[in-house]
Structure 1
Amino acid sequence: MAFGRLERARAPNPMSDINMTPLIDVMLVLLVIFIITAPLMSSSLRLDLPKAEGSRSSETPKFIALAIDAQGKLYVAEQPVTLDELREQAERAAGRDPATEVQLRADTNVPYGRVAELIGLLQQAGLSRIGFITAGAAAASAPK
């Protein structure tokens, strides 16, 4: 051994084995997650319920069928009415049941102002549920 000279040890050989510890740790964490979540995903209660005929509600939904033709004439249930008669019928219907629905059918040639006027009349009478009845897409594309 020479003075001032340090002996160097040989450099360690590179490790050629895969370190399995991190892989095992990740797999154990995933296993724990699956063990915890699996019962939560299939926790539905399976019952074989008896079959029975349910009674139908004898109460049908109440509605007023209102129509306006191209000339602006009003019809309630296919019967012609005046504006005052419509107001009276709407007030009576609202008095019986305020949830009565008005099913409004208007010709395409009826001005929007006329429809808005009828909606205002119905709302003043106490009916706020108003549905607009339209023709389906097949009927709209059919030749006239």
Structure 2
Amino acid sequence: MGASVGGGSEDEDTEVSEINVTPFIDVMLVLLIVFMVAAPLSTVDVPINLPGSTSTPAERPDEPLWLSLGLNRVLSLGNDAVPGGGLQAALDAATGGKRDTTIFFRADKDLPYGETMAILDELRKAGYLKVALVGLEGAPPAAEGVTQQ
């Protein structure tokens, strides 16, 4: 009945030439679940209405440092609100004092230009000169109220 190797009796150990894939499938399913749970945790949950851009997106580091300015004029570093006047301290804590870290700045498109520039000035005064402005990828920019001279 059983397949014996070497002509021995059925009670002896036999070699099986088939690969048991059940443990492999179990491991893959566990990894799938881990990645499905971890992927949403790596995003920033500050709602910002971004302007569109048609330029080619630049490469992004594995763990970007997001600075967001919402329409309610609340400044957030990642998901944490930054108290008024505490931007430099919050950035120093998040970067470990590394001033060459790229800051990804997101601002709501309906904010006045002056408020956006005020935050960029604060970043410059704090010594953070590598600032990437973030927009919606592949969306055409809004042409309302734009005049060309």
| TM-score, L = length of structure 2 | 0.47
Structure having the higher helix fraction is: 1
Give the structure-1-normalised TM-score: 0.48
Which structure's relative contact order is higher, taking Cα pairs within 8 Å and 6+ residues apart? 2
